[in-house]
Amino acid sequence: MKYLHDTFPTPFGDFSIVLDENGAIAANAFGNFAVLKKWDPELQATRDPSALREAREQMLAYFSGDLRKFTLPLAPKGTAFQQRVWSALRHIPYGATRSYGEIAAEIGNPKASRAVGAANGSNPICVIVPCHRVIGSDGSLTGFAYGEKLKRRLLELEGALLRI
């Protein structure tokens, strides 16, 4: 499979994106391309900024507060359960949050909040599939691969949290 990637600076730090052979986003991450290897240690990709122009432009518009809904094709790889969770995440509106329990209930398995947490943590496409919008039932900012500080900044950008 032929993958293309790019890394570019954002107000939130470097951001990397990988496209699959169909031009869909297979993974992305805060940091450089090497960070993406945590999702797939065997990942090989050719750097091609021109192929990722639209994805880069949408991400930069989001990070500047000018974009609320992405229109990029996505192709995350995961189990059927993970796919259901990631689909539910994409339905969390900009500026809103949901608890792990609420997502579990939404996918028809109200006792699966821990499994939802695991699926959320294995999401290969952050921000676009907004795993940062999932919080603890007590309102705590738990479970974001890039840390609570970055999760807080993203939620503040979206207006889901007041800036402290």
Residue 73: name the closest of 24, 127, 134, 129 by CA: 24
Report yes or no: 155 and 139 within 8 Å, Cβ to Cβ.
Answer: no
Q: Which residues, 6+ apart, have CB-to-CB distance to 141 below 8 Å?
A: 135, 148, 151, 152, 155
Report yes or no: 141 and 151 within 8 Å, Cβ to Cβ.
Answer: yes
Which residues are designated catalytic? 131
